[in-house]
Structure 1
Amino acid sequence: MKRRIVSDVMFLSVLGGINPVVAQEIKSVRPNFVWFMTEDVSSYFLDIYNEGRFGAVTPHVKELARGGLVFNNAYSNAPVSSAARSTLITGCYAPRIGVHLHRKMEEVPMPEGLHMFPYYLRAAGYHTSNAAKTDYNCFLDKEAWNIVSGKIGAWRMRPDKDMPFFHVRTCAVTHESSLHFSEEKMHESHFATWLDSIYIHPNHPDTELFRYTYASFYNRISESDAELGRLIAMLEEDGELDNTFIFYFGDNGGALPGSKGYTTETGLRVPLVVYIPERWRDKLPLQVGTRVDGMVSFVDFGPTLLRLAGIDVPEGMDGIPFLGDDISLDNLNGRNEVFGYGDRFDELYAFNRTIRKGRFKYSRNFQPYHPKSLYAAYRYKQAAFREWKRLYVNGELNTVQSRFFLPQGAEELYDLSKDPYETNNLARQPMYKEILLEMRKVLRELMVEKSDLGVFPECVWLEEGKNNPSLYGSRHRSSIRRYLDIADLELCDSENTTVRKKVRRALESEDPIERYWGATVCASWGDRAVFASLQLSRLIQDEVAYVASRAVVAMSRLQGKVLNDAMNGVWKRAEGTPEKVVCIE
């Protein structure tokens, strides 16, 4: 019924007017939507997610929860703003449409025939406003917004107060930059009276600086909660609260060290509380005050709003609605998979993919020789980050606290029901081998199905397919499968003769991307790739720069003498040879 009404509106609008009776019915059945998005906040840092034992106190979030739903397992898909927001606004997995890298080299268009989801709300008569951050990796869809850089409460500027509205508010007080204070400022703090009550996550050292950083962050979250209270008051003052769904959530994981930017649970899992307005509580088969265990993610948010507004979800979107008149709590709790991705993060480059299924989480790290702690200037502006590194260098951390600074390995497997902070990697334990293989298969099949552009060096798909990245990926799905076959050799026994032959074949391939992945496998093996030192030494002078640079990484991880001999030979052969630079990493 609701869907037909929206169609009538669009049809009558084309004719030049809307029947007043229909218009009144529309107003009565179409809800408003408000998103209150706090920057860099993970559910791990709110007391509402920690049984009130620790975390920031958020009374207005709790007020929404009493009249709505708390999602225990909501994910941002990506652990950094531009990739996460691109997922959010498109309803598409970012690596499929080329918006997964932070920061982008170039903006790319939406997939052909698809718009940012607010476009469909606006086309159906909604007033759409944004206050005020965008930060997408795709070209801004100007037709999606009435107001794109407004202020909180911009719904008040709609020309007709009977228009339903969608309003996005990004609250920046929690942004990680708020933690860029000097250590000297710490001693001026007014948090000192309750620093002893802070719960320090097991991967962090329990120091005065870390406690102060936690306390500062909690205080910022409380400030964002106060702003949420002001927004709720505005809706109530306007008489709109009883017909407005309010979504409270973080735009990616937390600002504390090792969270934002990393595909850990603290980097991907966000708080999500959805307030269900009075007028809609008898239309949804869900009891307010309920906590939902089913898994939802940013890719689902746009389709959910379209569903609630009675608008068909476009076929080009990947997300699945999680609220609707036929979606019960059992349906919600039956959702047991969620996909995560981490790629470039400022000057730090990574290629990590995760899948959570039930209580288990599997991570595939395609450059396993790197630690997660690779230097990124903006991260290390945070004093706690610098202290963490300093303590590691001085040998003052325990095993769990040190892991952030060690090579991450190709695979990670965690039982989150027992290990929510991912401290015990089960990937090498024989009793979990069957689960590991299943999770590995599920993630790989999803990457192929979604044409994950992460397997290509960025310059390749930008040069060949930037006008339609999703089409480029789908047309090269067989290549993606082939490249993953090579990449997955790093999971194999490096002493196996057949495996070695496959690596050599990749290193000598006419396809530069195959050479690139062959060199990556060798880099991951380190000294165990000595058998391929001749091929790698030749690749150092490869005419394709991303191949040459990856070969240098591989050679740098071989034994010193082998590297020195190979490098000396390369320089002699390379004298006077012009280099064709295609792109660099």
Structure 2
Amino acid sequence: MKRTIGISGMLLMVACTTTVEECKAKRPNIIIAISDDQSFAHTSFAGCTFVRTPAFDRVAREGIYFSNCIAGSPGCAPSRSSLVTGRHHWQNEQSGQHFSGWLDKYVPFVDLLSDNGYLTGYTGKGVAPFQYHRNHIEEDSFRIENAAGKGFNQLAYDATEKETTGLSSIDYYANFKAFMSGRKDDQPFYFWYGGYEPHRVYEKGAWKRSGKKLENVQVPGFLPDTEEIRGDILDYAMEIEWFDKQLLKMINYLEEIGELENTIIIVTSDNGMPFPRAKALCVEYGIHVPLAIRYPQKFPGGRVVEDVVSFIDFAPTILELTETTADGMMPVTGKSLVEVLTSDKDGMVDRSRQFAFSGRERHSSSRWKNLGYPQRAIRNNDFLYVWNMKPDRWPAGAPQRLNPDQENELLPLYGIDEQGKHHSDWAFTDVDGSPAKSYIVEHFEEKEVRPFFDLAFEKQPEEMLYNIKEDPFCLNNLIEDKNYSSIRAKLKQELRKELIRTGDPRMVGSDEGIFETYKRYSSIRAFPKPKEAGNNNF
């Protein structure tokens, strides 16, 4: 009898051990769903009244909603660079700059996942826009494959299947299934779903077919409240919903095949909304983005976490969760979120996470000699401090450019033609063309509109400080308010300390202008030489 029990016990022990080993061997799958130009406030989970995002809401409701996620930059390429390398964009040379080349030495974590047995790939917009060389004729130091992995973009929608003409034709869901068809048995997978939405251009007035109502729009305080702009915001909402619908299809598919519970789903956006005084500027609606993460096997769900987190934290988090070493990557700056994710606490979980950092250099080609607008920013739970390193430059781009069809001829100031119509490609070209932009520029002389014009297009002071709890629209610069002098001093000190610690060329080294020298692999506009160009700090 004892012998029988002993054998049964041994068999049970073996069974239990095998089960544990099998569970341990079944590594988590990962999906990163990243929209293109969506501010933090614009999900229905966050209380937005004019957009419905059931996929995001499910991930947030059953997982963890992060109320203070700060993108690496207010522009897509540098922000995505930060995410996949775990480093601030200013640490990545040209591989952290908009429309420059991606150097081989900046290994993204997807390469290490692939080496560790993961099936990897992406659909839509990967880590872009960067120049990747399909051969090494021009630049033998450039990476060949997109830093998001192998592309799956072959399958497209028919034009009649799209809800608006502004949407990408890429069938994200069909391409995800094509990716999954290459999976072997229980091979873990990592997939980057990069929607091109809600990046402009939109089909103007598409919202009218959707049943949406102008009166439901919450107009941010940095934009005039007009029917034209409300409609523009609803067209933006239409594209957010399209992105979310494709994600919902992927979630339902994973549920059907029994992989949903073993898949870490991360939903975010690369930077804020493509409107004046948002995208391309280090303000709250430019760098504060949505973030929800779901993985019920290990992450207690139904929580709202207030910790300030950064895009540079994503890479070390994913490497830790997949038991993948960072060997081969450049030194990672970010800090893993695993302790926060596996905690059961709401609110502030890790009080060591006091600050997040962001910044930008060149966005579009928008100034004389293709110069950028360098900004560095630090954000805690209550305040945003921004350092405009070159305040003599125009933050949204120069107000006037040279006529490409007539040598030495200037196009009209502010891009306004003789009929009073604004041409977006003629002025302030760091701001995407839109009905909102055109309205503000065309009406800049009106008393009610001028404050919005000044916020979006006029030169800004070297330092800006905003109480983002009371002033999320960043309307009231507190930098000269003596009541906030200690906060200003603290944030300024912490920002400079981080820039020095991470080797920002703007702070250390012999060539603080190195960012201006990186080649732009896209069209370059010509601008007149500004009178301030002779200044030492221009």
The answer, yes or no, to whether TM exceeds 0.5 is yes
Matched, 1:441 2:493: yes
SS at match of 1:218: helix
Deviates more, 1:94-103 or 1:154-163: 154-163
Matched, 1:202 2:221: yes
Preserved CA contact (<8 Å) 1:294 1:334: no
Q: 1:460 to 1:367 in 2, by over 3 A?
A: closer
Preserved CA contact (<8 Å) 2:382 2:469: yes
CA distance in 1, matches of 2:376, 2:515: 20
Higher relative contact order at CA 8 Å, sep ≥6: structure 1 or structure 2?
Answer: 2
Shift of 1:421: 1.2
2:383 pairs, out of 341, 344, 360, with: 360
SS at match of 1:413: strand
| 1:270 paired residue number | 289
CA distance in 1, matches of 2:193, 2:67: 22
CA distance in 1, matches of 2:498, 2:70: 17
Q: 1:333 to 1:102 in 2, by over 3 A?
A: same
Q: 1:382 to 1:110 in 2, by over 3 A?
A: same
Q: Point out 4+ residue stretches in structure 1 off by more than 6 angstroms.
A: 20-24, 143-146, 548-551
Superposition pairs of residues 52-91 of structure 1, within 5 angstroms: 52=47, 54-91=49-86
SS at match of 1:249: strand
| 2:514 paired residue number | 458
Q: 1:451 to 1:154 in 2, by over 3 A?
A: farther
Q: 1:128 to 1:22 in 2, by over 3 A?
A: farther
SS at match of 1:43: coil
Q: Unmatched 5+ residue regions in structure 1?
A: 1-19, 464-547, 558-584
SS at match of 1:340: strand
| 1:413 paired residue number | 465
| 1:341 paired residue number | 359
The amino acid that maps onto 1:169 is Y
Preserved CA contact (<8 Å) 2:110 2:149: no
| 1:289 paired residue number | 302
Preserved CA contact (<8 Å) 1:304 1:322: yes
Matched, 1:118 2:113: no
| 1:35 paired residue number | 32
CA distance in 1, matches of 2:316, 2:99: 26
| 1:234 paired residue number | 253
CA distance in 2, matches of 1:216, 1:23: 50
Rg larger for: 1
Q: 1:143 to 1:408 in 2, by over 3 A?
A: closer
The amino acid that maps onto 1:553 is A
The amino acid that maps onto 2:444 is Y
Q: 1:424 to 1:224 in 2, by over 3 A?
A: same
Specify which structure has the higher proportion of helix: 1
Deviates more, 1:434-443 or 1:148-157: 148-157
* CA-atom RMSD in angstroms: 3.1
The amino acid that maps onto 1:129 is G
Q: 1:53 to 1:260 in 2, by over 3 A?
A: closer
Count of residue correspondences: 438
Q: Unmatched 5+ residue regions in structure 2?
A: 1-16, 133-141, 154-174, 367-371, 398-426, 520-527
Q: 1:95 to 1:261 in 2, by over 3 A?
A: same
Shift of 1:148: 3.1
Matched, 1:148 2:151: yes
Q: 1:133 to 1:79 in 2, by over 3 A?
A: same
Superposition pairs of residues 92-111 of structure 1, within 5 angstroms: 92-98=87-93, 99-104=95-100, 106-111=101-106
The amino acid that maps onto 1:319 is G
Preserved CA contact (<8 Å) 2:39 2:288: yes
CA distance in 2, matches of 1:378, 1:401: 14
1:321 pairs, out of 331, 336, 342, with: 336
| 1:386 paired residue number | 438
Q: Deviations over 1:309-339 (max 9, x none)?
A: 1223457111111125995345445422100
SS at match of 1:41: coil
Superposition pairs of residues 41-52 of structure 1, within 5 angstroms: 41-49=38-46, 52=47
Percent identity, aligned pairs only, is 24
Preserved CA contact (<8 Å) 2:148 2:192: no
Q: 1:365 to 1:275 in 2, by over 3 A?
A: same
CA distance in 2, matches of 1:462, 1:377: 19
Deviates more, 1:405-414 or 1:150-159: 150-159
CA distance in 2, matches of 1:551, 1:272: 43
Q: Deviations over 1:45-95 (max 9, x none)?
A: 22322xx25341212211112210001011211111111111111111110
CA distance in 1, matches of 2:516, 2:272: 30
Shift of 1:384: 1.5
Shift of 1:386: 1.2
